[in-house]
Amino acid sequence: MRHAAWLLIAAVACAQAEPVPYRIDPAATRVHFEVQHFGTSTSRGRFDRLDGSIVFDRAARSGEVSIEVETASVSTGIAPFDSALRRDDMLAAQAHPKAYFVARRFAFDGERLAGVTGEFTLRGISRPLTLRALRFGCRPHPTLRRELCGGDFEADLRRSDFGMTYGLPFVADRVRLLIQVEAVRD
């Protein structure tokens, strides 16, 4: 009996040391942005359509994140502003309908996930980007009976790095990204 218990414990430990795939829940995941407008206030918006997956190996402290965002789904709550953001001199949503974030470097502070570093592609231009983890955790989902992982992340980028110089310096170059993500184990 003791031998069987140890085998079960060993099997569970090995299973936890393997990469686990998760599917991003688009209904519970959002990418928000903030940019200072005329040095007086902050303009905010979000992208409503995205998809992606995560592979996470807790024991190895590694994984892969792959997210694609539909640039035409930008929403600020102001239709004329949304149209302006979709133009060729801003998001270029028609020529570049998707933005991508692909990451394979996970950073930890003790046991806590501290960040994910990868490459962000917008308007066909790729640059390194680190998403800092404000919080992250995994728990059993109460109705799906599968594990749910999620968290809040933030990052800063310069829009000029992606060829978006319209409105500078009246509209700031620095854009703050705020990402809320939930993913369900496949």
Say which CATH number the domain at 101 has: 2.40.128.110
Residue-level pLDDT at 144: 83
180 occurs within a structural domain = yes
9 occurs within a structural domain = no
8 occurs within a structural domain = no
6 occurs within a structural domain = no
12 occurs within a structural domain = no
Overall domain count for the chain: 1
Mean pLDDT of 105-122: 96
38 occurs within a structural domain = yes
Residue 161 has phi, psi (to 5 degrees) of: -65, -20
Residue-level pLDDT at 76: 97
Task: Label residue 80 by pLDDT band (50, 70, 90).
Answer: very high
* Range of the structural domain that residue 27 is part of: 19-185
Task: Label residue 1 by pLDDT band (50, 70, 90).
Answer: very low
13 occurs within a structural domain = no
Using only C-alpha atoms, the chain has a radius of gyration, in whole angstroms, of 19
Lowest-confidence region among 6-20, 92-106, 114-128, 149-163: 6-20
81 occurs within a structural domain = yes
Residue-level pLDDT at 17: 64
Mean pLDDT of 19-30: 95
